[in-house]
Structure 1
Amino acid sequence: MEIGYMILLFSCVLFRLLSSCATLDTISTNQAIKDGDTIVSDDKMFELVFFSPGKSKNRYVGIWYKKISTGTVVWVANRETPITDKSGMLELSE
């Protein structure tokens, strides 16, 4: 999947998931989120996070329900192209 398409898809999904929140925590254009950083919706329902499922060493960036203790994943940006270390970074551009 092309990176530009993944970023566009990510921004659309993030907007839709968080749009029901009264106040949004956001990422601005050209601002980077690095592995270890998170964005949490104002109502603390959703969290954008880099994660490794189970015992996997692969890293993914996705959105999950923050209030559910098992970290139920809602959407994954790089499902088919995982990162193999903690150097991941997400940046939105125009």
Structure 2
Amino acid sequence: METHLFFAFFCAWICLSIPLESCIAVDSIRMDQSISDGETLVSSGQSFELGFFSPGSSKNRYLGIWYKNTTQTVVWVANRNNPIVDSYGVLTIFNNGALVLLNQTKSVI
């Protein structure tokens, strides 16, 4: 069976304020896929986007989720205390199912 990464971590957060039936996400990546800096996943309703961003004039890169159709209003950040210092970040799933964020040298963030 193919392992999928669903926006479960985000739905758990957002479901606190909206009904559960609105929280079922269909957007996913498989174990043989990854998201590199410059690529994003967009929720099926086109409301949210997951990807890498730099706040303001910072050159640091962060993995986050933001509202898609507004000025980038970030609602979740994965590596807030450990930014990536270049544009070579990758979000992937290891063989054991662990969701990991890697930097240019393939070190886990």
What TM-score does the superposition give when structure 2 sets the normalisation length?
A: 0.66
Contact 1:21 1:42 in 2 (8 A): no
Structure 1 moving runs of 4+ over 4 Å: none
Write the deviation string for residues 27-81 of structure 1: whole angstroms up to 9, x where unpaired: 122421100010000110000010000000000000001022x111010000000
Q: More strand by proportion, 1 or 2?
A: 2
* Number of matched pairs: 83
Taking the aligned partners of 1:62 and 1:23, their CA distance within structure 2 comes to 17
- Computing the radius of gyration from Cα coordinates, the structure with the larger value is 2
Give the gaps of 5 or more residues in structure 1.
Answer: 1-10
Note if contact 2:50-2:64 (Cα within 8 Å) is conserved in structure 1.
yes
- Listed as ranges, the gaps of 5+ residues in structure 2 are 1-6, 98-109
The answer to which structure, 1 or 2, has the higher relative contact order (CA under 8 A, 6+ apart) is 1
TM-score, length-scaled by structure 1: 0.76
